[in-house]
Amino acid sequence: MGTPFIQLLRPTNLDEYDRDRRPSEQSGDVPKTFLDAMEVREQVFVIEQNVPLANEFDSDDARSCHWVVYASINTTTEPEVKDAEGNIVKRKRSVTRSTPIGTIRLVPFPHPPHPEPGSVFTFNAEEEPAGPPPYITDRPTTFHDGKEPYVKLGRIAVVKEFRGAGVARMLAHAALTWAQENPTFFNPSVTTLGMENLGAKKLEDIPVWKGLVCVHAQESVEKAWEKWGFELDEGMGTWEEEGIKHVGMFRRLPIVSNAAI
C-alpha cells in the first residue's frame, strides 16, 4: 500500500441516494466521496457484519461530515514475459488506483434520546422521521447532563485487508482535529431556526458546542476508542443495535485553536 491520504466531505444533499441499491449502482448525482464511504461501509457492515443494505444509509448521512482514507494500490494488468534464455521480451504493465479503505462520520447535534439500557434497536428505514430529530432534554448519564450539545462519531470502518496499520487511528484523529478546529461549524443559527425550534426560552439556552464528543461503540471496539481518548459512560449502559452489543463513550475536546490532540 502506498501512503494513504484522507478526504473530507462536508454535509451534502443526498436526496438521490437510493438505500436499496449498492453504492456501485447509485446515480451519478451522488457525491463520489460519499459513494466511496458507502463502498467501505458495504464491505464492512453489510457483507462482514450482516447489516441489511437498506439499513446502512440513514438520514444522518446528509447532515454529517464524512472522512474517507484512500490507498494507492498498484495492480499488475499484464505480467512480464521472458524468452527461453530468460531475457525480458515484454515488460510488466500495471495501473495504480486510489481505493477507499476506511471511513468515519461525525454527526452534529441534535440527537435522538440515549438508548435505554438493555434495549434492542433495529433500524427501520420506513419508520425513520424526515429531517433531524428535535432538540430535547435527554436523560442524564455519567458524562452527559442531558442538555449539553454533543457531536457523535460513528460508522468507523476499515476494509479487512488494511486493518492493524493505523488507518482507524488516522480517521479518528482527522475527525477530532477537524471538530476542534471548527467548533462553531454546527452551532445553529437562531435567526434561521428561531428560539422555539432550538428548545430555548432564553439566550443562555441556545445550543452551543463546547467540545463534547460521543460514540456508540461496538463493545468489541471499546478498547480502541479508549486509546483515542474516550471514556466508558457507565450511566448509558449497554444496548443492542442490529444484533451487536453497544456501549456509550465520551471525550471532551478542549476548544482552543491549534491545540494538539
Ligand X SMILES: CC(C)(COP(=O)(O)OP(=O)(O)OC[C@H]1O[C@@H](n2cnc3c(N)ncnc32)[C@H](O)[C@@H]1OP(=O)(O)O)[C@@H](O)C(=O)NCCC(=O)NCCS
Of the candidate spans 91-99, 150-158, 233-241, 248-256, the one that interacts with ligand X by CB under 6 A turns out to be: 150-158
Return the biggest CA–CA distance within the chain: 87
**Torsion (CA) 35, 38, 43, 47 in degrees, nearest 10:** -120
Q: Which of 37, 46, 71, 168 binds ligand X (CB under 6 A)?
A: 168
Residue 232: strand, helix, or coil: strand
Give the interface size with ligand X as a residue count (CB under 6 A): 18
Residue in this structure with the C-alpha cell 458507502, named with its chain if needed: 38
Residue 109: strand, helix, or coil: coil
Q: Which of 75, 189, 220, 258 binds ligand X (CB under 6 A)?
A: 220
C-alpha cell at 30: 451522488
The alpha carbon dihedral of 230, 235, 240, 244 has a sign of: positive
Q: Which of 10, 91, 210, 227 binds ligand X (CB under 6 A)?
A: 227
165 binds ligand X (CB under 6 A): yes
Are 73 and 101 in contact by the 8 Å Cβ rule? The answer is no
Of the candidate spans 18-26, 163-171, 203-211, 229-237, the one that interacts with ligand X by CB under 6 A turns out to be: 163-171
158 binds ligand X (CB under 6 A): yes
Minimum CB separation from ligand X for residue 114, in Å? Answer: 16
214 binds ligand X (CB under 6 A): no
Minimum CB separation from ligand X for residue 92, in Å? Answer: 30
Are 169 and 100 in contact by the 8 Å Cβ rule? The answer is no
Of the candidate spans 82-90, 137-145, 176-184, 216-224, the one that interacts with ligand X by CB under 6 A turns out to be: 216-224
Pick the closer one to ligand X by CB: 110 or 248. 248
| Distances from the Cα of 36 to the Cα of 66, 130, 142, 145, angstroms | 10, 24, 36, 36
24 binds ligand X (CB under 6 A): no
166 binds ligand X (CB under 6 A): yes
C-alpha cell at 8: 473530507
Which residues of the shown chain bind ligand X in the complex (CB under 6 A)? 44, 156-158, 163-169, 217-218, 220-221, 223-224, 227
